[in-house]
Chain A
Amino acid sequence: MIYNAKEYAGLRNSVLSISLISWMVILVGQVELRASFCCPTMGSATSLQMLLASNSATSLASGWALMLTAMMSPMLVPPIYYIRISSFARRRPRSIAFFVAGYGAVWMAAGCIMLALELASIWLAPQSYLPATVVGFVALVWQASPFKQRCLNRCHSRRALAAYGTAADWDVLRMGLEHGFWCTGSCWAVMLFPMLLPQGHLVAMAVASILMFCERLDPPKTPSWRWRGFGTALRYLNLRLRGPKCGRVSLAPGCEA
């Protein structure tokens, strides 16, 4: 792969714009991302029927897709750039579409399970922080586990892609499916946590997005028990909010001797 900073920046800005637009649709459009329910009796068959009636599969799926676009698209910049530079110019949009389709299919399938868990928690414990607390604890353990690092390492891996014919389409689709699988393995817990919060799930979503984005900035490491993502997130936010540290010789914009 021949890396070109200008080309990468152009792609990154386009993908971040899509993510930003999705966030704006969520915030300004008041899109209901969390399943709604207002029945006080919990756990009964009637309340389950009411819960399912008030949350259609279409609205849940569209909300989930929007949330995925907002939260996950910034992490797709490196693989999309890899596909772009590894494909013939004429095939690039097609290859990227196949990759995104494969990636999205895995996450939509995972969404079925996660939305079912969300509905179950609302049905059994409406307005309770207990499910979110339990999942938050699991997410913290998962975040530090070597299994998470294995998933992250696989998210960094890039297969050699065929460039001609159906083999090229299949390769990028398979890369999308694999990337989606390992990405789901890496992020499922931190994605589920905001969904179970009765209040403040948008803020939690934003924090989870920054954490997931920053942990991908770290290079692959040998799997072991350690905290990951938080240090990079703090450094990233510090860099964004305070600007770069200027030394005696610096190439960073805004640094002058």
Chain B
Amino acid sequence: MILPAMKLPKEAELLGVNTEELEIKGSGAHTVVRLNTDVRHNLVASRANTSGGTSRDRVYLLLENIRGTYDAAILNVYINLPEEASQGDHRNLLAGSVGLYGLRRASIQHGEDGGLGLTFVLDITRILIEQPAAKSPYANEIRVSIVPQRQLPDPADVVVGRVSIFRQKGA
């Protein structure tokens, strides 16, 4: 049996990155992903295309190389969550939740996983479309908040190597 040929998505393009490692402590942390001015217009175009229904462009948030020793945590990831805001009031800004199961093992440098840690990809296209223009792709920065579902214990050691945003053009 031969399966019909599928249209594969086109290559992904990096749009923006935060500047340094993000340490998650206690009730969470936030970082700012600065968008590259050269490619920001691509994100704007992507937003326009997707909202118009003419394209399948997707925008993804990557939490790369998460390392640490505390596996028993679930992290909620929010986009442009206002400071001092309650998470419950902004469910529409929730990009997704990630479980850190296997974090300790993935972080062992000489272990089977080579110490790469965990990497998660979250689709944030919907959030960016629904955002007011002043807060999303037209701005230079996107604020990413990472909030543990339960407060992390004090010596918990969870570090996100890099937070980045990619755009993938549709097939």
Contacts and interface: CB of A to CB of B under 8 A. Distances in A.
Interface of A: 1-2, 4-7, 85-90, 150, 153-154, 156-164, 167, 219-223, 248-251, 255-257
B114 A163 contact: no
Contacts, number: 89
Nearest to B8: A6
Interface in B3-58: 3, 8-14, 16-17, 19, 21, 34, 36, 38-39
B134 interface: no
B121 interface: yes
Nearest to B121: A2
Interface of B: 1-3, 8-14, 16-17, 19, 21, 34, 36, 38-39, 60, 62, 64-65, 109-116, 119, 121, 161-162, 164, 166, 168
Given A7-B11, A87-B14, A157-B115, A164 B19 contact: yes
Contacts of A157: 109, 114-116
Given A164-B19, A223-B110, A2 B60 contact: yes
A6 B2 contact: no
B13 to A, nearest CB: 6
A251 B12 contact: no
Q: Chain A's interface: helix, strand, loop or mixed, by majority?
A: loop
B162 A161 contact: yes
A89 B14 contact: yes
Given A159-B161, A256-B2, A4 B12 contact: yes
B8 A249 contact: no
Contact of B164 (A7, A156, A163): A163
